[in-house]
């Protein structure tokens, strides 16, 4: 029987809620560093930039970690969310494509502090194999299989040009990587069991441009 009621919550959390949990977690870390021991849903909601009703509903999917009339214990809730997301454990990550963006990612401190450990930087260009970025040697892309196997890597980051991204993704999937964060501006084709999240810098700007155009349109047309 397939774990019909797993002991520790984790039934099925709505996707929209999952996307907000890291935001709550960051807000809690900030509150904790400020020395706040307890906070209400209203305070935490303001810190996270959301509605307090939505926040409470989100947290209710994890369980009842608050106390009515009091609020939430900051450190306790912080741990519970971290455990739910899975950042209490250590996630080995490999980054492929060490251009400007890849280097920025490798240097980003927000990864390590949240349970992600960059175990390798790979690039197909031999000219980059001499480099050391963020204290890590840049290695040839061909070593992907060995590294992924040795470190049991489950998460891969693609920061290559668009043309190379699909090949990289195919190789990653073949290595047993089942979660991919894709910064290349292209649509990746992967098996259904592999999760892909896409971050496209120019798309975000275009969405802003659309709204900006609508704002100024009225004045210009008049």
Check residue 164 for interaction with its own copies (CB under 8 A). no
Check residue 59 for interaction with DNA (CB under 7 A). yes
Check residue 72 for interaction with DNA (CB under 7 A). yes
Neighbours of 21 (CB within 10 A): 19
Among the listed ranges 31-39, 45-53, 56-64, 71-79, the one in contact with its own copies (CB under 8 A) is 45-53
Check residue 25 for interaction with its own copies (CB under 8 A). yes
Helix 15-33 / helix 74-85 crossing angle, nearest 10 deg: 140
Cβ proximity to DNA, 62 vs 159, nearer residue: 62
Residue of 10, 30, 37, 60 interacting with DNA (CB under 7 A): 60
Counting Cα atoms < 13 Å in the Cβ hemisphere of 41 gives 16
- Within 27-146, strands assigned E span 38-39, 66-67, 71-73, 91-96, 116-123, 132-133, 136-140
Check residue 207 for interaction with its own copies (CB under 8 A). yes
Query: Which x/- pattern, by CB under 7 A, does the window 19-58 give for DNA?
Result: --------------------xxxx-------xxxxx-xx-
Residue 59's nearest CA partner among 43, 81, 37 is 81
CA pair distance 215, 87, nearest whole angstrom? 41
Cβ proximity to its own copies, 14 vs 142, nearer residue: 14
Residue of 32, 76, 115, 151 interacting with its own copies (CB under 8 A): 115
Cβ proximity to its own copies, 49 vs 135, nearer residue: 49
Task: Write out the two tokens for 214.
Answer: 């609508």
CA pair distance 85, 108, nearest whole angstrom? 20
Q: Which parts of 79-98 interact with its own copies (CB under 8 A)?
A: 84-87, 89, 91, 93
In angstroms, the Cα distances linking 178 to 22, 31, 193, 194, 196 are: 20, 34, 7, 5, 8
Partner whose binding site includes residue 40, from its own copies, DNA, none (CB under 5 to 8 Å by kind) = DNA
| Residues found near DNA in the complex (CB under 7 A) | 14-17, 39-42, 50-54, 56-57, 59-60, 64-72
């Amino acid at each position: 029987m397939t774990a019909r009621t797993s002991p520790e919550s984790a039934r099925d959390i709505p996707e929209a809620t999952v996307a907000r949990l890291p935001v709550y977690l960051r807000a809690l870390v900030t509150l904790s560093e400020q020395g706040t021991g307890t906070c209400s849903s209203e305070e935490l909601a303001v810190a996270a930039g959301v509605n307090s009703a939505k926040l409470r509903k989100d947290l209710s999917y994890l369980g009842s970690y608050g106390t009515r009339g009091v609020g939430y214990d900051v450190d306790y809730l912080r741990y519970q969310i971290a455990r739910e997301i899975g950042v209490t454990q250590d996630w080995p990550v490999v980054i492929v494509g060490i251009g400007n963006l890849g280097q920025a990612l490798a240097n980003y401190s927000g990864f390590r502090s949240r349970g992600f450990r960059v175990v390798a930087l790979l690039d197909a260009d031999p000219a980059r194999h001499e480099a050391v970025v963020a204290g890590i040697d840049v290695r040839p892309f061909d070593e992907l299989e060995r590294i992924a196997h040795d470190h049991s890597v489950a998460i891969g980051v693609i920061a290559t040009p668009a043309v190379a991204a699909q090949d990289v993704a195919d190789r990653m999937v073949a290595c047993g990587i089942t979660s991919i964060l894709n910064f290349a501006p292209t649509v990746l084709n992967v098996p259904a069991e592999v999760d892909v999240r896409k971050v496209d810098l120019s798309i975000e700007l275009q969405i802003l441009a659309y709204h900006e155009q609508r704002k100024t349109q009225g004045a210009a047309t008049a």
